[in-house]
Amino acid sequence: MRLTPEQAQQLLDEYGSIAELARRLNRNERSLRRWLKRHLPEAYAREPAQELTIGVISDTHLASRYASIEALNRFYDLCQQRNITTVLHCGDFLDGLNVYRGHLAELALPASLDAHITYAVENYPRREGIKTLVLAGNHDTSYIKTGGLNPLPIIAQQRDDIEHLGDLYATIKLAGVRIGLAHPEAGLTQAISYRAQKFVDAMPPQERPDILLTGHYHTTGYFVYQGVHIILCGTTQHQTPYLRRKGLRPAISACILTITTRGGKVERFMPEFITLEAE
């Protein structure tokens, strides 16, 4: 149907929000917001602000002898104290198999997909009211090469508080904004923002998220590039022999994000990096 401003106002009064109006009309929400901004600016300006606080973690590398389940539990305890209900995990949930030369010597468990899945199901933190949405990283997908199976859907089937979002890149929508979770495979450069910038550059502008959470690099950082708020997410895996050979020292940390949005746009963005080193 061709929408007039009068009809749009009547439907907004009935449905209560632009997001619900878009859903009922089967319209693209962003396109509808642009139309409303032109033709019904007063209604567009009345769109209420939404505030969202989420936990962000990455590179837990369960089954590695260098993984810190203690640091992971400290973070989930904090999330529970802060009444956070959603934690986003940006990949390398498990440590994988034969990811690089000498990798098997770094495992704390037998080199077995079943053993690693069982350990994760039994030991990954579970807190009442908290759901973890997890992306598969390159260590997670290494099991496909060796055993033909992706462990994360299997873990999610056995844990109702864990959801598998996809492999290496996925987007979700929270509080009206698009959040991308990425686990690139290229190595870190001297300028820690460079790889994430190139990742954004490679995306068509219409596909770029409002927020990009990036795992893989075992470091932390925040910057805005091409209008995208970018977080480098840290790790709970201590320095491995492989990282030492590469001259890399990990940041044992996670992040709590508080985001205020209005009309599908980020109004305020407050990252809080949490150091998880043992005292």
For residue 128, give the CATH number of its domain: 3.60.21.10
Give the mean pLDDT per block of 10 residues along the chain (279 residues): 82 78 83 84 75 96 97 98 98 96 95 96 98 97 90 98 98 92 80 87 92 96 96 96 88 97 86 88
Q: Does 36 share its domain with 171?
A: no
> For residue 25, what are the domain limits?
5-47
Residues 29 and 57 in one domain: no
What pLDDT does residue 203 have?
A: 93
d(CA 264, CA 39): 17
- Supply the pLDDT for residue 19: 76
User: What predicted TM-score, i.e. pTM, was given to this entire model?
Assistant: 0.86
- Asked if residue 43 and residue 66 are part of one domain, the reply reads no
Specify whether 64 is located in the same domain as 41: no
- Do 93 and 14 lie in a common domain? no
Q: What is the pLDDT of residue 166?
A: 97
Answer yes or no: do 159 and 246 share one domain.
Answer: yes
Same-domain pairing of 219 and 148? yes
Looking at residue 18, what is its pLDDT? 81
pLDDT of residue 189: 67
Do residues 141 and 183 share a domain? yes
231 and 248 inside one domain = yes
